[in-house]
């Protein structure tokens, strides 16, 4: 498994419902009001692979302008992670963190 660390850090703790979403098959805990970009980057370093070359992307502008944070949901929808709120039961495919030693693209 590729060593990976969270990019985002929660510095203002808040109360509120906690629930799990699935990111590349693993369960991660999020809080009500978390955007998907937060939900994902609180647990790993990137959101997706860059499709035209090497490297990974983790979003850029967080205001739905730069279009860098498109991700694929389990139900087939493609959404911007920066303006989509995480909901219980969501599942996301990023292909960033390798699972069981193999790339999960």
Partner 1 sequence: MKETIVIVGAGPAGVRAAETLVEAGLALIVLDESARAGGQIYRQPPHGAERPAEKLYGSEAGKARAIHTALEQIRPRVDYRPGTLVWNCFQGKLNTLHDNAQGILPFDRLIIATGAFDRVIPFPGWTLPGVFTLGGAQIALKSQGIAIGKRTVLVGAGPLLPLVASQYLEAGAEIAAVLDVTPFKAKIAALQRMMAMPAMVRRGLSYLSKIRRAGVPMMYGVRSLAVAGDRRVEGLAWTDHRGRRHQVACDAVGASFGLKPEMQLADLAGCDFRFDELTRQWLPVVGAGGRSSVPGVYFAGDCSAIGGADVAELTGIRAALSVLEDRGTPKPQQLRQLETELARHARFRAGIEAAYPFPNHLIDGIDDSLMVCRCEGVSAGDLRANFVKSGAPEVNRLKSFTRVGMGRCQGRVCGAVAAEILAAKSGLPLPEVGRLRGQHPIKPIPLVAGKQS
Site membership for partner 1, residue 35 (CB under 8 A): yes
Q: Which of residues 2-21 bind partner 1 (CB under 8 A)?
A: 5, 7-14, 16-17
Q: Does 62 interact with partner 1 (rule: CB under 8 A)?
A: yes
Query: Exactly one of 20, 22, 24, 45 binds partner 1 (CB under 8 A); which one?
Result: 45
Angstrom distances, CA of residue 72 to CA of 9, 62, 68, 80: 23, 17, 13, 9
> Of the candidates 25, 27, 66, 105, which one interacts with partner 1 according to CB under 8 A?
66
């Amino acid at each position: 498994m590729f060593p990976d660390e969270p990019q985002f850090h929660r510095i203002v703790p808040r109360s509120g419902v906690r629930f799990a979403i699935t990111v590349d098959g693993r369960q991660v805990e999020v809080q009500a009001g978390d955007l998907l970009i937060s939900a994902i980057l609180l647990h790993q370093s990137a959101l997706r692979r860059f499709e035209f070359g090497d490297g990974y992307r983790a979003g850029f502008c967080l205001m739905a302008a730069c279009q860098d944070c498109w991700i694929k949901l389990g139900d087939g929808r493609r959404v911007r992670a920066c303006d989509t709120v995480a909901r219980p039961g969501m599942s996301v495919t990023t292909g960033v963190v390798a699972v069981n030693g193999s790339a999960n693209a």
